[in-house]
Structure 1
Amino acid sequence: MIVEIWSDVMFPFCYIGKRNFESALQQFSDTDAIEVHWKSFQLDPNIPEVATESYQNYLVTRKGMPLQQVQDMLQNVTLSAKQAGLTYNFDDAVMVNSIKAHQFIQFAKALHKDDEAEEVLFHAFFTEGKNIADLQTLLTLGTAIGLDANALQQAIENQEFLPAVIEDINQARQIGVTGVPFFVFNNKYAVSGAQPASSFLEVLNKSFGEWKATNTTPNLIISKGSSCDVKGNCD
């Protein structure tokens, strides 16, 4: 069963939502039957690729939020992250456009490494204060999860995966996504935001039960002959 997750790696509840969903998966009895697809989304495509302001200043100047409200909000989000086992350092966060980071994710997704890509990008941005619009930073992160640095560099410089990013964003608009994280289970049930693990588990059980009812394992009548098994035994 497919679970699709729209996310933007620079916005805090996406990382918290990832952890809570993973916690639900750990409690789910049929984890091996779940296939997770990460999808691109940009909450603010107008952020420049060159860092010009802090996370706090970004919310005050670009979103028009009062300073005290921003400070209180970031403190509360940091606490929520800590409860999910994450460390947020908003004072070190580098506010830049996430379009290259999404192309990095799409490149990794083609190699079935989009979950690893999301993880290293979240950690780099929220915990380590790294610039996720910097090509060399992305190449270093890619190497860390087993991606070919030369192929990744070529893909980003030539914007090979930009159409995939745009396709995800357009798809999100078509289904009415206005905020992330946004989870879609079996193309039927949706969960918006960083819900508790118990909420994700409830939807997992419900959606998987329905999926399994229409995706049963065929009861094959097998005629046996000489073969080799997965342990290397041949007879």
Structure 2
Amino acid sequence: MKVEVWSDYVCPFCYIGKRQLEKAIKDSGYEGQIEVELKSFLLDPTTPIDSDQSIYAALAKKYNVSEEQAKNMTKNIAERAKEIGLNYNFDIMKEANTNAAHRLAKWAETKGKGAELSEQLLQAYFLEGAAIGKGEILLNLVEKVGLSRLEAEEILNSNQFEEDVERDIMEAQSIGVRGVPFFVIDNKYGISGAQPQELFDQTISKAASEAGLKPKLKMVGDNGATCTDGQCDL
């Protein structure tokens, strides 16, 4: 069974939704039988690549509010992230153009490292305040997951994997995706946004059952009071 996930690396709800999906899959008993395919989405492709504008300043400009009001807007998101173990640090975040990050993630997929690099990108941006729109930061993250810095640099200096990113965006538009995160589960169910955990749990279990998957046994208790190979726990 496949779950397709459209997201952007500067979307705070995308990291939250990612964790919710991971938990739902793990708790469902179908772990190892569900493929997660990450899809690109650009929330604001016009963001300058070399921007150093703080996230508060960017939000203030976007929503026509003061920076203090923008800061208050992020508090509920930070609290929600903390509930699932993510310590967002909005104070050091800056706006970022994520086109290059998405292109590198597409390349990383061809090396079997797509999910790993995507996790590093989200962690670097939301927890560490890294400028993931800038080449040097991206190259450091590529090295961190064991990929070639030189090859990644060649990709950044070209338009390689641009078509892959655009294809994901066009596909999103064709099925009516207007915001992220957006989850398509087994081509049957769609979840828009970081919804309550219960919705992810129920939908994953329902889709997996309908697809004929067999859940793994959930072991309870310890391994005591058993007999094996002629020996018993006495």
Alignment partner, residue 97 of structure 1: 97
Alignment partner, residue 218 of structure 1: none
Q: Is the 8 A contact 2:107 2:161 kept in 1?
A: yes
Give the C-alpha shift of residue 66 in structure 1: 5.2
1:130 aligns with 2:146: no
For 2:139 and 2:129, how far apart are their aligned partners in 1?
16
For 1:12 and 1:120, how far apart are their aligned partners in 2?
14
Alignment partner, residue 147 of structure 2: 147
Percent pairwise identity: 38
Runs of 4+ that moved beyond 6 A: none
Structure 2 counterparts to residues 66-215 of structure 1, below 5 A: 67=67, 69-212=69-212
For 1:29 and 1:115, how far apart are their aligned partners in 2?
21
Q: Which amino acid aligns with 1:21?
A: L
Alpha-carbon RMSD:
1.6
Which SS does the other structure have where 1:180 is aligned? coil
Alignment partner, residue 219 of structure 1: none
For 2:203 and 2:114, how far apart are their aligned partners in 1?
22
Return 5+ residue gaps in structure 2 as ranges: 215-234
Q: Is the 8 A contact 1:3 1:183 kept in 2?
A: yes
Q: Relative to structure 2, which stretch is displaced further, 48-57 or 165-174?
A: 48-57
Length-normalised TM-score, structure 1: 0.86
Alignment partner, residue 228 of structure 2: none
Length-normalised TM-score, structure 2: 0.86
Which SS does the other structure have where 1:212 is aligned? coil
Alignment partner, residue 45 of structure 1: 45
Give the C-alpha shift of residue 72 in structure 1: 2.3
1:11 aligns with 2:37: no
Post-superposition CA distance 1:108-159 (Å, at most 9, x none): 1222322111110011111111111221211111111121222221122212
Distance 1:45 1:63, change over 3 A: farther
Q: Is the 8 A contact 1:5 1:39 kept in 2?
A: yes
Post-superposition CA distance 1:12-69 (Å, at most 9, x none): 0001111111111220111111000000001111111111421111111123245454
Q: Is the 8 A contact 1:37 1:114 kept in 2?
A: no
For 2:21 and 2:66, how far apart are their aligned partners in 1?
32
Q: Is the 8 A contact 1:40 1:169 kept in 2?
A: yes
Return 5+ residue gaps in structure 1 as ranges: 216-235
For 2:195 and 2:11, how far apart are their aligned partners in 1?
15
